[in-house]
């Protein structure tokens, strides 16, 4: 795999990315919490774009992958700024935003900030407002006290031997970027892809987003047996077909 290029944002962060030139609308992949642009879905989407001659962009948020910064210093607001910066600087014309897990929330924030640049949005196990509704809501009183007093709390992870360290900054900043508590206008096609066996972001989250978002063309596809990774050959084929259907 080739070395990434870097974009320096006005906040001084160096954002690693891979970009393909091609026809429009382009596709931008927004990854999940603690993930990076070398994952299965990101690589699949690049191959999909290469076969069709489509413009494509994948990148690492600050504190993720090859980008600058420490993960524990970051928060939803920073990562949304990173996404908007790469869309502004590295893409032209209409884009299809494909957001996975936390990337679904970031895609919604980017689309809200730049609606004129969005041709369509695809959420894969999208996790809007997860810092509040997933993390904070599940903490015990002792965990909440520890978070507020020491600035972090450690949580076990299904994806790593190391625990997830959840910072007070992540929780408090997340409250400034919630999208399910106020009108959410999405004036373009929206597709939500969700696995029925997703234990990280359950189908109820997708249904809540489905009911809440205001889009002229919004569809939710629930895949029986699929988990949060949504990376099986069948799930990737569905993702590709969804892009073919709405991507121009």
Which residues are marked as active site?
Answer: 101, 198, 228
One DSSP character per residue, 208-231 reads HHHHHEE-SSEEEEEETT--TT--
Element (H, E) at 87: helix 76-90
Structure tokens at 15: 């954002």
Q: Let me know: does 124 contact 98? Beta carbons within 8 Å.
A: yes
Q: Let me know: does 25 contact 120? Beta carbons within 8 Å.
A: yes
Angle at 8 (CA atoms; ends 7, 9), nearest 5 degrees? 110
Looking only at the bridges linking them, the beta strands covering 164-167 and 190-195 are unpaired
Give the whole-angstrom CA distance, residue 7 versus residue 24. Answer: 22
Label each residue of 147-202 as H, E or C.
HHHHCEEEECCCCCCCCEEEEHHHHHHHCCCCCCCCCEECCCCEEEEEECCCCCCC
Query: In which residue are the tokens 């993390």 written?
Result: 135
Element (H, E) at 97: strand 95-100
């Amino acid at each position: 795999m080739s070395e990434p290029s870097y974009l320096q944002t006005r906040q001084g962060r160096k954002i690693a990315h891979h970009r393909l030139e091609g026809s429009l609308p382009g596709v931008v992949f927004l990854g999940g919490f603690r993930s990076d642009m070398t994952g299965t879905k990101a690589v699949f989407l690049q191959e999909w774009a290469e076969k069709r001659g489509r413009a494509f962009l994948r990148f690492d948020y600050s504190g993720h992958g090859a980008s600058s910064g420490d993960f524990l210093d970051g928060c939803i607001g920073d990562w949304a700024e990173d996404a908007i910066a790469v869309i502004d600087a590295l893409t032209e014309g209409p884009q299809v935003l494909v957001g996975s897990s936390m990337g679904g929330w970031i895609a919604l924030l980017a689309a809200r900030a730049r609606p004129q640049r969005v041709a369509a949005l695809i959420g894969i196990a999208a996790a809007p407002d997860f810092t509040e509704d997933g993390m904070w809501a599940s903490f015990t009183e002792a965990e909440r006290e520890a978070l507020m007093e020491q600035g972090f709390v450690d949580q076990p992870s299904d994806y790593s031997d190391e625990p997830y360290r959840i910072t007070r900054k992540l929780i408090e900043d997340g409250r400034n970027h919630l999208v399910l508590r106020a009108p959410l206008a999405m004036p373009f096609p929206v597709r939500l892809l969700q696995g029925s066996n997703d234990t990280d972001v359950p189908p109820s989250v997708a249904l809540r987003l489905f009911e809440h978002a205001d889009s002229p063309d919004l569809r939710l596809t629930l895949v029986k047996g699929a988990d949060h990774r949504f990376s099986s050959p069948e799930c990737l084929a569905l993702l590709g077909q969804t892009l073919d259907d709405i991507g121009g």
